[in-house]
Amino acid sequence: MSTQQRGSGWSIRLVFNFYRLFGYSFIYYLMYPVTFFYFLVATNVKAALRDYYHHIQQPFNNRVYFHHLRHFAITMCDRFVSKTSPQDYLFEIENEAGLMRELHKGCIVLLSHFGGWATAGNCFTDLKINIVMQEVLLSEIKKIEEALPQSNTNINIIDLSRGGMSVSLEIAAALSKNEIVAMMGDRATHAKNTQSIHFFGQEANFNKNPFLIAYKTEKPLIGLTFIYQRPQCYQLQFTTIRMNKNNPQEDEIQHAMQAYGDFFASSVKNHPEQWFNLYYFWKERRCN
């Protein structure tokens, strides 16, 4: 599934210019009135979030809704600011030595549209990271992002829109060189690439592709969540998932996907305001 990135080109350009002129603290507080605007007009998002909070059995009201939108606004700012000033960000990593050992061997990193996922590439500046994605950006937003000077030159985007064979060859080449391949675990670009697991007691579709690639290449999967802590500071939590190629493919993939779903559910439960899948996610809708 693909969803169009929210926001507008002119507003992001304006906020980024404010950052250059007045610094990060200014735009941090500017996000309050910006959030309030979307609080008033984004009624479709509110309906989807009401369903989301109902599924995870947590209360939802206008205060929660505003809080959720504000986190999204802040992490959107960080998406752009961290590209030009990664040195201004702090990433607190649980068991950093263990994570770095796994990453330096080459692996598939499972990201999600959670917290500071868009700043992920700027956390590991000494590692080659190949990000597999097809995010439908508004054209003006895409122009802004592409025009930004990036401090980290070790990031390579593998664009899914180029077609299956080209993408598969590029992923295989990266893994053969023990590089990192990052993929989204919570969203697939096509329904055919999804598989259902239990998530908060209900059936939900996750992206099957990373697990299929990991099984075939015998590379480990690293589930990562970037949890917003305070301005320009994120905490990283991770889990390592390995599959045994001696066991049937579908059994191993199902087991690995459920392991990832359980890990991700823990992050969602503890920080519900930081998951930005702003559409109906579960197969069964509980609220309209």
pLDDT digits (tens, 9 = 90+) for 251-260: 999 999 999 9
What CA–CA distance (Å, rounded) separates 241 from 238?
Answer: 10
Q: Does some domain include residue 200?
A: yes
What CA–CA distance (Å, rounded) separates 65 from 53?
Answer: 10
Please give the residue range of the domain that contains residue 116: 9-274
Q: Does some domain include residue 284?
A: no
Q: Does some domain include residue 288?
A: no
Portion of the chain with pLDDT greater than 70, in percent: 88
Q: Does some domain include residue 43?
A: yes
Instruction: Name the average pLDDT for the chain.
Output: 87
For residue range 136-146, list pLDDT tens digits in order.
Answer: 554 555 566 66
For residue range 193-219, list pLDDT tens digits in order.
Answer: 899 999 999 999 999 999 999 999 999
For residue range 90-127, list pLDDT tens digits in order.
Answer: 999 988 999 999 999 999 999 999 999 888 877 887 88
Q: Does some domain include residue 73?
A: yes
Q: Does some domain include residue 287?
A: no
Per the CB < 8 A criterion, the answer to whether 143 and 93 are in contact is: no
pTM above 0.85, yes or no: yes
Q: Does some domain include residue 4?
A: no
1-6: average pLDDT: 44
Residue 42 or 154, more confident: 42
Portion of the chain with pLDDT greater than 90, in percent: 61
Domains of the chain: total: 1
**Of 202, 203, 210, 211, the residue nearest 249 (C-alpha):** 211
Q: Which two tokens stand for residue 240?
A: 């390592």
Q: Does some domain include residue 150?
A: yes
For residue range 53-75, list pLDDT tens digits in order.
Answer: 999 999 999 999 999 999 999 99
What CA–CA distance (Å, rounded) separates 5 from 119?
Answer: 16
What CA–CA distance (Å, rounded) separates 70 from 137?
Answer: 20
What CA–CA distance (Å, rounded) separates 288 from 285?
Answer: 7
70-97: average pLDDT: 90
pLDDT beyond 90 at 241: yes
What CA–CA distance (Å, rounded) separates 141 from 8?
Answer: 7
